[in-house]
Amino acid sequence: MVNIPSTPEISWTEFERVLIVAGTVTRVEPFPEARRPAWRVWADFGPYGERKTSAQIAALYRPEDLLGRQIVGVINFPEKQIGPFRSQFLLTGFHTDKGVVITTVERPVPNGARLS
Dist CA 76 CA 73 (whole Å): 9
* Residue extents of the structural domains in the chain: 20-102
Query: Which pLDDT value is given to residue 3?
Result: 59
What is the per-residue DSSP string for 18-84?
S-EEEEEEEEEEE-TTSSSS-EEEEEE-GGG-EEEEEE--TTT--HHHHTT-EEEEE--SPPEEETT
Dist CA 24 CA 10 (whole Å): 29
Query: Which pLDDT value is given to residue 44?
Result: 98
pTM of the model: 0.91
Query: Which pLDDT value is given to residue 4?
Result: 60
pLDDT (tens, 9 = 90+) of the chain, 116 residues, equals: 665 668 889 999 999 999 999 999 999 999 999 888 899 999 999 999 999 999 999 999 999 999 999 999 999 999 999 989 999 999 999 999 999 999 999 999 999 999 98
Query: Which pLDDT value is given to residue 7?
Result: 83
Domain with residues 20-102, CATH architecture: Beta Barrel (2.40)
